[in-house]
Structures are given as structure tokens and as C-alpha cells.
Amino acid sequence: MMLSLIASIFLVSCSMSITDPEHKDDVLETHYSKFDGHEILEHRLLVGYENKDAALKLAQKLGGEIYEEIPQIKIVAVKIPMEVSEAFKILKTTKFSGIRYIEPSYKRYLIDPKPAGKSMTKSAEINSEEEGDLWSELWGLQKINAQKAWKEATGVDVIVAVADTPIDCQHPDLYGQCVEGFDPQSGITISATSDYEDPQNSGDDHGTHVSGIIAAKNDGKGVVGLAYGAKIMSIVIFKGTSDHSHVSYVGDEYTAKGIVWAVDHGAKVISNSWGGPGYSYTLKAAVDYALKHGAVFVAAAGNNHTDQHWHYPSAYPGVLAVGATNARDEVADFSSHGEYVSVAAPGVNILSTIPHSSTYGIYGKPYDYWGGTSMATPHVSALVALLFQKYSNATPYQIMKIIEKSAVDIGIPGWDHSAGYGRIDAARALEETSKNDGAVYHVRVISKDGGFSVPSALVTLKRKRRNGPSYYAASDEKGVASFYYIDPSDYDVIVGGPDLYDINSPILRIEEQTTDNYSINLDGGESTDTAEFDTHVDFLFSIDASSSAYLISARYYYSDDTIHPIFEATSSEATNVAVRLKAGQVIAMYAVSNPVEATTVVWATAIVNDKIIPISGRISVGSTYTFLDEYGGGDSPMWWTAF
């Protein structure tokens, strides 16, 4: 028996929600695996919800349990007994309502700073009166005119949250400079005078080094931070291993929880010297939460020395992404490049604090030279603190623009992928003002014919004049990609997808992807535009006598296991039938009147956006039907999607 069949799809939004857990694990065992080419923390799913009950149903469906919730951004974390890839397969054919997204918890990395030893790379002549006994070694502060800036502001009463490894707040340069912090994985607060780091693990010294650059006190001893009047809030997102050999990332869920906690407890600056690949809706929600609550989010561009746009959180819209420079105002060879870079700051051989119990250090003291965008970032975070002292009512966008406008242009004239707008200058920044509040822009992605929302679409705002950063975001379950506090400018808006490997994606094959492009002039304020996906799927089939071909609504099939045909072709004689379904999500099925006496293979053809895909199914002995797809049908057929 031979057939030709074509099917079309009805697009269904996956939705879910959650209930409060009765308990949560303080610590999850950490196992890593690869998913969509990125490293993830295994046995964890992060779920954004609209209503909590759906999330509980999702957890129950997978045999899992909710171990963490962040109600401020409507997110829960679910511990599952299976690998994420297995859960992905189940969830791709399971429909919930009330869920905004489902995603893995990606592995992130400290921006790989390396203790540099005593050797320095500084300009031949740097002369200045000393502020501390190591002032002559602090070329970075001298380069950005810190002393002149201190006549205007020192960051008094501004809280800078450092999302990093634990911080040694008992270090002589940091004692009295900390406020209460938070360990989001264990859920405990950290004393403002504690040494929370592991004295046996030099791998967790990173947070202490970053903190010294920001706010080491100005007491004529040791080093001094650019914002020595500010306070440090420790948010622990990298923790030492039990064997004291290295540190590991706690997960996107705990990091988001820590960011939200910091904002809720008064942090005006969130400093992030870490990052990695993998677009996380959860991290973006936390970044957006910080921006909408008036906090500036500063993040390292990365040490990959490549031109990229996939590094998060630095590539999220509204983030101050920081590259690194040396004392000759050259971009460091390790500093990552990309359309998301805002500014650069000193990041080569930077002297700062390390834990007082460390077994290494220069001059026999708890200080060391490190290099990386990890060290550049706290210079910018500290500058934000200075500006907030002077302009306490400024918005995050206004602070960002002051820093960008006052930067010293280096390298290629104008904004560029390497240094952004240039190397920061603290004194010039404090002489600058900005009254522009920027733009908030939303792109809603829908099906042209069906009008339904399309999640997992990738949206790029490409600046036409190439005189500043471009921006990237992905659409959520409502089809909306949001860009908070971006530059008013002319953009080409490029919308593509949906992302085949996103759990929330409605498509199951690359042939179903499409694009929509348009141009926009953003002049400030908040606005929304609509992008339309326009695709089709044709099913061509020939029907034998007493046989039928069906297109079944995937929405209903996967929710109640009932056949809900939206197309049926039946004939008493052999005939050819063609049908085009331009918008929707369907399953293709072929049926005969009587049970077959021998296994019967049915062949058909689907044409997806003019691309031919042979499909087939197998009617087993004693059965009357088979599903049709490119893998031979089976009990779990793959639906077809058209927009």
C-alpha cells in the first residue's frame, strides 16, 4: 500500500505553573552534562510560571520536586530524577497551561583571572602622591583619575553587591567595608564582619580581589578601592568544593535568587565578574528585575579574546558590559570583543586584596596582581557607586550613558567591538550629566495566519549606524522579547527561529524555522511592535479505497489522548488529495477500514516551506492506523508546525 501525504500544524503554547514546596534541599549534588552544545547542571529544570499549580503538575509529570522558588520573578527550580535531555523529550510532547518557559540551569564560569606575580605592565612614568603604602602600584586608579574624582564622590552609602566567590570581610582593607550578604544556595545571611571563604581553597579568592578594587578603605595602608566610601554586599554564587581544589557555580536559579535578594536589600550596583554561554530566561528575568528597581547591572565581557555575542549575563540588554585595558590604553589581548561591549577599564596586572589567610601574596602581605575582565569590571562597578552618590535619583540608563559619554576613546575611533565607547575616566564621568531615560522596547512574535504567540524566537536589534551596541533577546511563552533601558536609535530588527533546541520551542524540525525583518526608529519611552512568522506545511496523499487520511490537532491529542481531526479525507476509491495548513500544529495519521492481516508500510510526503520531507508509518498486524512522520511514525508521533 503506497501513499503520499502532507500535514499541517496548529501551534500550541506550552504553559505551566507551580506550588510552594514543603521543603527544599539546601545543597544539590552537582553533575554536569552537555545540552544543546552547552554545559548544564544535571537533574535541574528552571520553570517560569504564570500560575503556581501548573509547575507542580509539571514536577509531578516528571517525578520531580520543587526545591527553590523566586516569587518576585515567578520562577521555580525542579529537581528531576532523569537527565535533562530525557525530560526535554517528555516535555516536548506534553502541554501545560500557566507556564512561561522551561530551561536547564547552565554552567557559568569565573572570568578566569590568573595571579600575575610581581611583574607589572605599566607605563614608564606614573608619579602621584601616595594614598596608601601600595598606591604607587595602583596604576589603574591613577589612569582613570581617581584622586580628582574623589573630590566629588567616594561612593558614600552606596551598596555594591558582588556576585562571586565568598569575600574575606576580615581583611584589614575590607574590615568595616561590608554589609550583610547572602548565600542563596543555603539560604543563610552572611555577617558583615565574617571571613566566609575557605582558607584551604585559593580558588575562592576571586571575590575578595574584586571587592578590594571596588571598596578597599582609604586608611593610608595597603590598597584603596575606587569607591572606598561604598559598602560591599557578598552574594555567593561560586562555592568551594569539599576537597578544597576549586570552586563551582551554584546554578542560574540560585544566582537569580541572589540578585533579587541583593536588590530587595538595597544594592544599587550588581557587579558580576563571571559568565558563560547559554541564554537563560531566568538570569534575564533577574537582570530585568534589577534594572526595573533602579540598580545598575555591570558584567565582564569575558576573557575569550574572540568576537562574540553569546556571553551572558554581559550580552543581555541594559547591562554595562566591560572589556579590559592595559596601562598603555590598549585593549588586553585576552579581552572578549562583541556588539554588546559598553566600555573598557584597567584589567591587566591589577593589585588588590586576597584573603588574609592565603598562603601566597606579594610583599608578604595579603595582596596580589591579577588580570582579566574580572578585574576591569569592579572598576566600572565602583564608578557607578561614585555616580549614585552624586546623582542619587538617576536611572540605570542615565548612569550608563554618563559612563559611556565620558569614556576616553581608545583604539578605533568611536564605538567599537573591543573597547566599546572607550576606557572609563572617573573624573570626567563626575563632570558629565544625562537626562535621557533611554528606551524600553518589546517585540511580540506571532503567527501571521493564526495570530498565536511564538516562543523561543531570537530577536536582534542591529544598530544601523554601528555607533553603539546591538541587543539580543528571546521571546517568552507570550511571544514577547523585551529590551530594557537601551539606546534610542535606528535599528534593523531581525527575528528568526524559533530556536529548535529550546525546550519551549513549538517546532520539531529545522525546516519549520523562518524569519521576519523590519526597521524601527526608537526615540525613547516604551513601545511594542509585532513581528509575524509566515510559513506553511502541505500534505500530499493518495488514498486507497476504504482508507482515510487525517490531520489531528496536536493540542488536544497530547492533552487528552483523544482524536480531534481538523482535516479528514476519505474515499470509496483510490484518489489523490492535497491540503495546505498555513497555521497550526497537527499530527498526520492514516487509517484503513479493517484491521490489516500483514504489516503495511504507508509512505507520504510533507512539504515544509517548500522543502520536501518524505514521511512514513507502519500499520501493525491487527491494527487499523499509523501515524506519519519522517521517522516512521510510532506511538509518539512528531507534530508539524506552521505559522
**Hey, which residues are catalytic here?**
164, 206, 374
Q: Which residue has the cell 538570569?
A: 283
Cell of 630: 519522517
Question: How far is 200 from 247, CA to CA, in rounded Å?
Answer: 12
**471-474 vs 565-571, strand pairing mode:** unpaired
Question: How far is 369 from 115, CA to CA, in rounded Å?
Answer: 6
Question: How far is 459 from 448, CA to CA, in rounded Å?
Answer: 17
Question: How far is 625 from 409, CA to CA, in rounded Å?
Answer: 69
Cis upstream peptide for 277 (omega within 30°): no
Nearest-10 crossing angle of helices 206-215, 373-390: 40
Dump the DSSP string for 495-556.
EEE--TTSTT-S-SSGGG-EEEEEEEE--SEEEEEEEEE---EEEEEEE-TTEEEEEEEHHH
Nearest-10 crossing angle of helices 281-292, 252-264: 10
As a whole number of Å, the end-to-end CA separation of the chain is 32
Burial class (CB in 10 A: 0-12, 13-18, 19+), 609: middle
Dump the DSSP string for 336-389.
-B-TTEEEEEE-SSEEEE--TT-S--GGGSSEEEEESHHHHHHHHHHHHHHHHH
CB atoms inside a 10 Å sphere around CB 435? 8
Cell of 363: 610583599
